[in-house]
A and B are shown apart, each in its own frame.
Chain A
């Protein structure tokens, strides 16, 4: 697989569900939901939501990273629950005419750059 990415952060659709992908971008936002961590990964092309379950490799690393760090992640594409579809996100839209919903479940494979401030 490519050193940095197999897809851009604006690219994943329902048709990618089940694939293992690699994404790179800036850590746009991180939220903790009772052990499950969500990250919005951003690049020139868009945002993709990343899900870390407790125990996902790299969980601890990413938990400590500051916003706007540049990271590379590898993981499996999973569909979003219909109730969780984010209509504001191209990668999170439900209908088939518009980009379908999906969620990228990721395992951190490496960190290319950390904000060292």
Chain B
């Protein structure tokens, strides 16, 4: 096999067949195949059956942008490639099948990211009938834990998967503790809302935070254990700069804790400098911090403050080398909110998936007669997260037409809109639908984690580049006039070369 010289991405992708002769890539592709074989075997062992669903299908009104395929036989009409077999798998349950799975190709016309191919990806698509959330967890957890255990020591990497059930973390708790709904549990830092300590600036001598809290904002602390002892002032200033530059935040406050002259702990940094000693002691007790430790503070509107705090938690954890090595920490995030407040349109709207089953069913929807109560409603919706990577999203579906119409009504959509957009599904449900639910772990991301790959291209045989071009096959590319004519397509003048 070839060595691994460092060529520009463009050259590598143009001659991918040569690039693939690299030992690492060769091994990664074998791993990918083995992971898929393992997933399939584990699903079959769990009593699931694999079914194929169409690739040429209809454009779906929700979700991301579709890839369209023009119809030759029906001028002016288009197929769409499936963003996911979501409707098909639910209709399979209505058809009387049970325990479906498929290693399903999914297509979305989205921009590329390091962990997302432009255009296409594979998911282990799963759906089950007559199930509660617990049943889905019980069916999938052994599959996921099993595949991570099986390949933990791939290439002698010696990684571990902790024993026992995946921790289940309610969404609200994840946001409060980690500032993220995909927390990296290898990072021991936990955030804390310390607003109560800053409300009264007569005790703190620090008016900025009191003013933010007075305006409805929050102050979130990010503990930085031993940072004051081990890092210079520059470390703290750099993080403040990072917050301003990378996060477009007003800044990240900080305080370094040291032994006070008369015993105890104090800080000479502005945020804590003028705290009453007893007040400071209470704050540090809450955070479990002492001399030698550091604290960062993210302040602002609640959502902004947590967003910055979550990112800072990761950054501080990495810089202080706190991220646990050689372990896959998988968890469930559960109890996602059904609705969220849409700031742009000043109304309540679906926060994730409108087709998830609201917890408490019709009773809960009927009882939610104020915006506040609506925002408290939770869905039977769940994610699997591993080391800060969202592997999978799933839900118990709303299979009742009445309940679905009511759920849309709360988000301000009338029955006419729902019937027009989702009439097909609603009608199917009217012919006798079993309660059902499922999940869809991303195959590419599982392989990336197991291969320790930074980029999805390292676990994909023939990937496109960041600009969504396949440089080897030269796709996309212009086509013959004759082909366009057959498809009843005429290009807009500026498109012609």
Contact = CB atoms under 8 A, between A and B. Distances in A.
A68 B435 contact: no
A68 B129 CA distance: 15
B132 A70 contact: no
Interface stretch (B20-28, B243-251, B426-434): B426-434
Contacts of A2: 132, 135
Given A2-B132, A4-B130, A116-B430, A44 B435 contact: no
A70 B130 CA distance: 10
A29 interface: no
Interface in B401-449: 401, 429-435
Interface in B127-153: 129-132, 135
Interface residues of A, number: 20
Contacts of B199: none
Chain A facing B: main interface SS: loop
Contact of B432 (A4, A5, A8, A113): A113
Nearest to A3: B132
Contacts, number: 49
Contacts of B430: 115-117
Contacts of B5: none
B96 interface: yes
Interface core residue of B96, B400, B429, B430 (most chain A CB under 10 Å): B96
A115 B131 contact: no
A112 B98 contact: no
Contact of A69 (B131, B399, B432): B432
Nearest to B97: A44
Given A4-B131, A44-B129, A26 B97 contact: no
A117 to B, nearest CB: 6
A29 to B, nearest CB: 14
A26 B97 CA distance: 12
Interface core residue of A25, A69, A113 (most chain B CB under 10 Å): A113
Nearest to B131: A4
Contacts of B432: 26, 68-70, 113, 115
Interface of A: 2-5, 8, 24-26, 42-45, 68-70, 112-113, 115-117
